[in-house]
Amino acid sequence: MIPKIIIHGGAGKRPRNKTRIEKVRKTIKEVLERSRPVLEERSALEAVVHAVSLLEDNPLFNAGTGSVLQADGKARLTASLMDGSTSKFSAVINVQNVKNPIRIAHLLQRERYCVLAGREALTFARAKGFRYFNPVTAERLRDWKRSQGMCGTVGAVAIDARGNIAAGTSTGGVGNATPGRASDVASTCGNYADGRVGISCTGAGESIVNLALAARIATRVIDGMKLQRAVEKSLKELERAGDKAGIVAVTKKGELFYFYNTEFMSYGFLEGDKLFTGK
């Protein structure tokens, strides 16, 4: 199997600022390039964690540094990880003052109780050596009660040389949301992987949860439906519910797939020597 990875930086309205779009594309390309050695020399799981961490570190996105603020002016971060080789899901939900929530989710892969939230999640992280970090940027604070021009959940799905699949997703949630609001990222509705397919979602979180979008797509693939058909059918059902989303996915055959019914989604993939970033 040729190792492959596909990543996204959120889906929504097309930003008017073309310079910002180009910065996002450049970042997507850099993240893919920096993730290549991890994917080729280690594993799909570690490549996903590495790629999502890099995206979390870039304030262009709504994950980690640069996350949006909830109604009380605080950033609460959520990230999840699923290892397709074990079908184990781990997540950290609404944790504050950490740099890379995806890395906490990675540590939770080794724990019996692998989904933690709020203060207790932070206590776990501090005990594991995660130091205080303020993810709130001046721009997010300034734009707290205004719509964001370019701001999205991030995610990655990869398959390694052994055919193992992993998926990871990270978000700051919805700006000005009710404090404590949990997103689809906190469940297999938004982030899913098993031995046959891996999926990372972005978009209207509540509707993604209502339709169990990632798990729904995966179930259809497992039942024999082609990935493209499964995604298109599921997103049409989401549209009928009045919302839109985007996904990136990988199958056990090494097929890479992206699809969105929003105006715009930032994404890119690495497949052998081929590196592509979305328009």
pLDDT of 54 strictly over 70? yes
Among residues 27, 153, 171, 251, which one is catalytic? 153
- Sheet bearing 191-193, strands edge to edge: 191-193, 197-203, 245-251, 256-260
Total domain count, the chain: 1
pLDDT grade, residue 255 (50/70/90)? very high
pLDDT of 279 strictly over 70? no
The enclosing H or E element of 13 equals: none
The lowest-confidence range among 112-126, 146-160, 177-191, 238-252 is 146-160
How far apart, in whole angstroms, are the C-alpha atoms of residue 173 and residue 94?
9
112 — phi, psi (to 5°)? -65, -45
pLDDT grade, residue 144 (50/70/90)? low
Looking up residue 90, the CATH number of its domain turns out to be 3.60.20.30
Q: Which tokens go with 36?
A: 């290549």
How far apart, in whole angstroms, are the C-alpha atoms of residue 235 and residue 241?
10
Determine contact, residues 88/165, Cβ cutoff 8 Å.
Answer: no
pLDDT of 198 strictly over 90? yes
Active site annotation includes 169: no
- Write down the pTM of the prediction: 0.95
Domain extent, residue 225, equals 4-277
pLDDT of residue 149: 43
Beta strands 115-117; 88-95: pairing state: parallel
